[in-house]
Every structure is written in C-alpha cells, then in structure tokens.
Structure 1
C-alpha cells in the first residue's frame, strides 16, 4: 500500500483498515518495506508525524497530533492539552479534568444537532453541564437561536438564574384570571428531575426545589 493511500482524502470517506497495513512502498525509490517513518533504502521521511499503531503519516505537524491509547486513535491539539476519561471513553480538554460530569460512552454517539459521530469528529467537542457532549459550534448555534436546553435530556446548558429572575418579575406582574387562581398542576423539572404540585400560570411553572422554570406539565 502506498503512503498516499494511507493519507486519504477525507472528503470521499473511503474506509481503509489502517491498523492492518503491513507494507508500504516508498514513492521516491519504490522500495517495499514494513510500515515505518523513514525509508530503509533512501532514507526519505514519509511523514513528519508517524504513528506506528495507527499506521498514520502526516506532514502537517501544526495539528499537534498525538496517539491516545485510551481512544485507540490519533488525535490533534497536543497531548498536553487533553486527558483521557476512561469512564466517558474519550479525550477532553484538561480544563474539564476536575469539573466535567462523567457519562459512560459520552462521545460514542452522534452530535445531537448535526448528527456527526463525535468520537471521530475533527471539530471541537464540548461537554454540557448534564454530561452530554456536543460540537462547540453546534452549541453556539443553539444559543444564537435562543435554545438553552440539552437536546437529549432538556437540562439547561448554562446558568439561567438571571432569566428565571425575569420570569419571576413577569409572573408577579401578570395576575391570573379568577377561574385559574386556584388551579394546581403537576410538573417535572428538567434541571433537577423532581416532580412537584404547583400553582398553574400561563407564563411558566417554577420548580420549588431548584427554582428553575425549565419545567413541563406531567
């Protein structure tokens, strides 16, 4: 197999059993040999970055490639900037090392917005407060469209306390018609998971446990 066959054009998404590659042919001198970084005959470097496990060659080392034994694949961004969470089964930014909530197999599913498989994605992935993962760009797009809850579990994706304060003011300024003043409903809070029996209001129902308005009637 030729070096250029290994450095495949990702646009066409050809699947090559990379780990099964045993031999490569030097494109400069034509020598067939075991997979390695430098040609045994002419000495040419076949790739400035080389991973003997993934059989991966790449000349663009600005990507800061590194092999993660936990993931079993090569990733970009520099090993010093990431750590592997064995419960989540993926690499996360070191900024999340002591703060992310673990969800088993967190990245082994599609992005809930664009549906790209997150584990193999080359785009930045982030962790929401609920522990579910999403492309950072997709999360930003959600916020631009005023969507502030996880598409998977509906928990808030950011601190909504200021928004809830505005709900308090709006509800206080909007008295209910007399026939609804004693109406009670059961609600489920998407943020804390508690069910409560609360007074109905047209604007929203507040969770008495965590003070969130991210609720729905049950």
Structure 2
C-alpha cells in the first residue's frame, strides 16, 4: 500500500467525496446497486485535499515516466483536475466534450490542436470505463496518440480493466477502494458490520444486491 494511496483515500473521506450508505444503496447508470458513492467534484472546494490529489498525479507521472505533450480532461468532472495538473506542470491542456457541438467544427475536443500529440487523459473516477474510453476515441479521431489515463480512483470493475486493455490504454489510479475502505474503518466512519457489507460489494458488485437481499 503506497503512501499516496493512503493520503488520497483519507483526503477523499475527510471532505465527504467518498460516502458509505450500506443500508440505502444507490444505483449507478449501469444499473449496479452500490453501498458506496464518489463525488470528486467536491475537491476544488477543499484546497488542501485537492493539493494532495494534484501532487499525487504529479508523482504518478514521474514514477511511471509517462511521456505526454498535452493533458486532457473529460467534461465536466475531469476538467478541474486536468487543468490544475496541466497548470502545475506548465503543459497545454484541452477538454473533451461528452457530445460534439451541433455547429462549427463538430469536434469534441476544445482548447487546442491535438493532432500528432501524445495526450494524457485525466479522470476523476472510473466506473465501467465507458466515459473515459469515449474520450480516448474522440481524441484519437482528432489525431491524438492516447496511451495513458490517470484517475483519482476506480471502482476496480473487471469490465473496466478489460475495456482499457482492449483500447490499449494503461489506467493509473492514485488510490483504490480497498484502501479507502480500510482507512474509513480506521477513521471510525463505520463499524465492522458496515465494513463487511461494503467489502462484500467490492468482491462482487454485480451479485451483491442478491446476496444482501437489497430491494431495488
């Protein structure tokens, strides 16, 4: 367990960016019921914790020796983090629209030309990977070379790992949900019963609702 993973996990818990609701699960867009949720849009309101994340990104870039020319963020939640990282590293940044505009160039890429550029994609959260890889496709359609994606955290779903591998993109995350879970328990955010319920979800999120007899 790396120091960065622990520091980022604790930062997210401190500001309520990661929450736990084992008795009132939420439903993801994919239909998966979850006893945990993430809202990293809270980070810019908390500069100290946000600095922990941005410094974590900088360390990941250095440690993994990720070569890039431009940093990109997915509309909208990824943009603050990609822009802050780019500003910190004094590198160009762009953002990727979820959908193309119905006028002008109709490109999904805003901010500058990425043709022939190595682009590092930055995400706040990876669930199934669909949004991130749609952004990769848009960047590649505009001539960019995209081989790496940085994310604050991922749910660790198997389908996401498979999707990134199929797209030939390496996903780098600052922390993981098992680290968050351990830190939340240590910080007294829930008890042993809640810990086991959430740990059970992490082991198999698709079958969790049936095992826990959760009503949708």
Give the TM-score range, shorter chain: under 0.3
Q: Mark the structure with the bigger radius of gyration.
A: 1
TM (norm. structure 1) is 0.20
Q: Between the two structures, name the one with larger relative contact order (CA 8 Å, sep ≥ 6).
A: 2
The structure whose residues are more often helix, as a share, is: 2
